[in-house]
Copies of this chain bind each other. A is one copy, B any other.
Amino acid sequence: MFLRVVLKENFLSQAISIRNMNKGQVTIKDIAKELGISPSTVSKALNGHPDISKDTKQAVRDLVKKWNYVPDPIALSLKGGPSRIIGVIVPEIVHYFFSTVISGIEDWANDAGYHVMFCQSSEQYLKEVKAVDTLLSSRVDGILVSVSKSTNDFSHLRKIVEKGIPLVFFDRICEEIDADRVIVDDETGGYVAAKHLIEIGCKHIFHLSGLQRLLIGQGRKNGYMRALREHNFQVNENDIIDCDNMEEAAVIVPELFKRPVKPDGIFAVNDLTAVAAMRVIMELGYRVPEDVAIVGFTSGLMSDVTNPTLTSVEQHGYMVGREAARLLIERLENPRELPKKTVIIKTELVKKGSTDRKK
- The answer to whether the Cβ of A42 comes within 8 Å of any Cβ in the partner chain is no
Question: Cα distance A285–B305 when bound, in Å?
Answer: 17
Residues of B within 8 A of A94 (CB): 96, 99-100, 103
A305 touches B275 (CB 8 A): yes
Could you jot down 10 A-B contacts, CB within 8 Å? A73-B139, A78-B78, A94-B99, A94-B103, A103-B120, A106-B120, A110-B130, A115-B134, A246-B304, A306-B306
Which of A301, A305, A306 has the most CB atoms of chain B within a 10 A radius of its CB? A305
Q: Which residues of A are interface residues toward B (Cβ below 8 A)?
A: 22, 24-25, 70, 72-75, 77-78, 83, 85, 92-94, 96, 99-100, 102-103, 106, 110, 115-120, 122, 127, 130, 133-134, 137-139, 162-163, 246, 272, 275, 279, 282, 301-302, 304-307
Query: Which B residues lie within 8 Å of A96 (CB)?
Result: 94
What is the minimal beta-carbon distance from A38 to any residue of chain B, in angstroms? 21
Top 7 A-B pairs ranked by shortest CB distance? A307-B307, A94-B99, A117-B117, A93-B99, A118-B118, A115-B134, A275-B305
Sample of 6 further A-B pairs with CB below 8 A, known A117-B117, A117-B118: A94-B96, A94-B100, A99-B99, A275-B305, A301-B302, A305-B305
Residues of chain B contacted by A74 (CB below 8 angstroms): 74, 77-78, 83, 138-139
